[in-house]
Amino acid sequence: MTDIREMVPPFGTHRLSAPMERLRGATAHLPANRLGRALSSLIRRLVTRGPEDPIDAEIFPGIRARLRPGTNRCEKRVLTAAQFYDHQERAALAAALQASESEPFVFADLGANVGLYSLWMVASARTAGRSLQVLAVEPDPVTRSRLLANLAASGAENVVVAPVAVGATAGHGTIVEHGNNRGENQVATSDAAEDEGFEILPLDEICDRHGISRIDAMKVDLEGHDEAALRGMFETAPEALWPRMLIVEAGKGETRPPVVRLCEANGYTTTGRTRLNAIMQRH
């Protein structure tokens, strides 16, 4: 598949008006409390255009993105007060990068969506003056095109994009779309390889294709396939691909859902728990 990295029309075409951009920019100074979040939500409603209209904005230092907040929840959340967006997870990743002696630091973004985690790591590495390699895995062709455009707009050349899905075993898949949030699109397996779709591959095969022999940190958000993908990693991948730091979607229910227990059984300890994710560290 062709890896076309360009933003068409160019970044800035869909920039907010100057007054609206100043209003959006002011949300960067809101406090991380109930009032700050309420004001961020109010300002987001004021600056957002129609449900399908894109907005060009700088979301992290030096990181540009074309956001479509009406069709993707993560893009909506990062449009205003980006400091609130998964702040514990991002802080943990930035700290892991700064503390690591790996050169380059290797980050795997499984279920990359439009690239917000990958782009955050690019921004963090630039700030820290560290070398970085990112593997961003995103099978959904529409979402992946947005990811590639954001990488181009941000000059993020150290991100490799894999147009496949991650699974326990090799197979073939198609996308089942969620009505109003692309982040909830799911992978459905298919027995017919001739169907329009994409490959499903274990993590070690994806890494082998892209010359990656070590992973330092990894985010996993595969909309229901997290446990299967990690089980496949533990069963078939060399331990060098077992990241020292792991962020995995754990849901809002159990403190120790099956995916967390699976990681604990393979040498990980939960060091942080957010609304949706577990932050885990390998012994």
> Can you spell out the DSSP letters for 195-255?
SSSEEEE-HHHHHHHTT----SEEEE--TT-HHHHHHHHHHHS-GGGS-SEEEEE--SS-S
Residue 165 pairs with which residues in a beta bridge? 200
| Same domain for 226 and 173 | yes
Provide the token pair at 89. Answer: 């997870």
Q: Helices then strands (H, E): number in the chain?
A: 9, 13
- Distance, CA of 276 to CA of 253 (rounded, Å): 9
Residue 67 pairs with which residues in a beta bridge? 55
| Same domain for 123 and 79 | no
| Same domain for 127 and 253 | yes
| Same domain for 107 and 61 | no
| Same domain for 200 and 173 | yes
- Distance, CA of 123 to CA of 108 (rounded, Å): 15
Parent domain of 67: 18-84
Angle at CA of residue 217, ends 209 and 92, nearest 5°: 155
Provide the token pair at 244. Answer: 């020292």
The predicted structure's pLDDT at residue 173: 93
CB 80 within 8 A of CB 40: yes
- Distance, CA of 118 to CA of 160 (rounded, Å): 10
| Same domain for 104 and 68 | no
Give how far Cα 269 sits from Cα of 159, 202, 244, Å: 28, 23, 10
Collapsing DSSP to helix, strand or coil, 165 comes out as: strand
| Same domain for 189 and 54 | no
Q: For the segment 63-73, what is each residue's pLDDT rounded down to a tens digit?
A: 999 999 999 99
Residue 175 pairs with which residues in a beta bridge? 187
Q: Is residue 94 part of a domain?
A: yes
Intervals of the chain under pLDDT 50? none
Name the residue with tokens 């990743």: 93
pTM value > 0.85: yes
User: Exposed, middle or buried, 156 (CB in 10 Å: 0-12/13-18/19+)?
Assistant: buried
- Distance, CA of 166 to CA of 203 (rounded, Å): 6
- Distance, CA of 143 to CA of 149 (rounded, Å): 10
Number of domains in the chain: 2
| Same domain for 93 and 76 | no
Closest CA to 215 of 173, 166, 170: 166
| Same domain for 269 and 237 | yes
The predicted structure's pLDDT at residue 185: 87
| Same domain for 193 and 142 | yes
| Same domain for 102 and 180 | yes
Hey, what's the torsion of the CAs at 80, 85, 90, 91, to 10 degrees? 80
Which long-range CB contacts under 8 A does 27-35 form with residues at least 24 apart?
27/80, 27/81, 28/81, 28/82, 28/83, 30/81, 30/83, 30/84, 32/83, 32/84, 32/87
Q: What is the CATH number of the domain that holds 197?
A: 3.40.50.150
| Same domain for 124 and 247 | yes
